[in-house]
Amino acid sequence: MPFPAGFKEKYQAILGSESSAFLASFEEEAVSAFRVNPLKEAIQLPETAQPIPGLPWSYYGKVSGKSLQHVTGQVYSQEPAAQMVVDAAGIEPGMKVLDLAAAPGGKSTHILSYLNKQGLLVANEIHPKRAKILVENLERFGARNAVVTNTDAATLSQVFQGFFDVIVLDAPCSGEGMFRKQPEAMDYWTPAYPSQCASLQREILEAAVTMLAPGGRLVYSTCTWAPEENEAIVDWLLAEYAFDLEQVPLKNGMVAGLSQSQTARMYPHHFKGEGQFVARLHYQGVNKVPKKKDPRSNLSVEQKKLWQAFEQEHLQEALPGVLQTFGEELYLLPTGLPALDKIRIARNGLHLGTFKKKRFEPSFALGMALKPSQSHHKYELPEEEFPAYVAGQSLPAHGSPANGWYHLVCGKNGLGYVKISQGMVKNHYPKGLRFQ
């Protein structure tokens, strides 16, 4: 592989006798992996799946983006080194967690697996197009207790000062660890690029620190090996703020950081995966927590009646949270949030559906978030009809079901909602997601 000017020499100096094996690893094929989704009712594992040692839900192997497993959110493709970041975060159900640079959603969906529908995830992505992709991936995964924000860290910190138990920042970086998987990343690399990235990383972290609750944890990671963006950033955090460095467990060929034995590095000649750096820091400082107004429901009396009627007829149990409308769209916000009117929102909790002319229509996201066992009215789509449905076709209904809305189930998992009318299954799969 032809490396950018200066890259080879840099890592020959850093790695010494190991540099030959390190540089030779770039000629090998990138390692693929995925995680299964513990929030789903049933999982169909590909036959070729190989468990990744020491990680719950994690397997080596490839999953097609057009497969039933992917479309129903049973699996999420994520390379092995990236999976080690959230594994190191120590997330437990009930925590309030921020994924500060969240797109496309690998770490956010991993966080949701550990939260297990308890607590709160704020997934932030500053770029609008990437935020849209993040929303799609969280909806497919079945996210309930998540809000997707679309703003910069400084603005976010004005709303969430002293708020989070855990902040995960997989920082924008020089991307050296992705050279094998994404060779185009080499086009941007120069010897000065890591230092330029480090400046941005410090700027983001300055805002991030103010959002930590007392005793909170910061998990800082990059997909690069550049010491300027890794150990040097951790040294800066320890010097400027009240942090203690905690041990990142070394698994599956991870090695200690260059100057900090508690941090972890992943090199492809040691670790079966791509490149990553991870540090875990415990916050000993105290951030002022301003008084915050909690979001309140803003439904009209008629809207509330329409939703309650749908909820009573279709759901086995009431969904906890705060109901809010934005225009005619109904959302369920997780509890415990401050008011969010000062920041851009890409997904304000779980999209429940739409009010239309004195009726309520359920959303695709609701049908993905619910397990089939949580619905009264279900329609089982035969797996052989799955290709036609995701292509946008309406289909004849099986079993003469009555007219009305049904939770669509395929492969024992939700696939949105459908309306059955006069013996036909009307297609409500989102147009932007359809494929042949």
Which residues are annotated binding-site positions for S-adenosyl-L-methionine?
101-107, 125, 152, 170
Return the amino acid letter for 65. G
Residue 428 one-letter amino acid: H
Residue the block writes with tokens 């941090």: 263
| Burial readout 22-46 (b: 16 or more C-beta within 10 A, e: otherwise) | bbebeeeeebbbbbbbebbbebeee
CA distance 401 to 5: 66
Three-state DSSP state, 398: coil
353 — phi, psi (to 5°)? 160, -160
Identity (one letter) of the amino acid at 214?
P
| Cα distances (angstroms) measured from residue 317 to each of 42, 198, 310, 373, 428 | 20, 48, 12, 10, 24
Query: Which residue numbers belong to the known binding site?
Result: 101-107, 125, 152, 170
Instruction: Give one DSSP letter per residue of 304-356, joined into a string.
Output: HHHHHHHHHHHBSSPPPSEEEEETTEEEEEPTTPPP-TTS-EEE-SEEEEEE-
Choose among 92, 93, 117: nearest CA to 39. Answer: 117
Asked whether the beta carbons of 245 and 53 are under 8 A apart, the reply is no
Q: Are 76 and 37 in contact (CB under 8 A)?
A: yes
Active site residue 173: no
How far from 263 is each of 178, 247, 249, CA to CA, in Å? 20, 6, 9
Comparing CA positions, the residue from 214, 42, 39 lying closest to residue 115 is 39
Catalytic residue among 173, 197, 223, 410: 223
**CB-based contact 257:14 (threshold 8 Å):** no
CB environment 304-325: b (16+ within 10 A), e (fewer) = eebbeebeeebbeeebebbbbb
Enclosing H/E stretch for 115:
helix 106-115
DSSP lists the bridge partners of residue 164 as: 212
Tokens 């939260």 appear where? 115
Q: Please check whether residue 329 is in contact with residue 301, taking contact to mean a CB–CB distance below 8 angstroms.
A: no
Active-site positions?
223
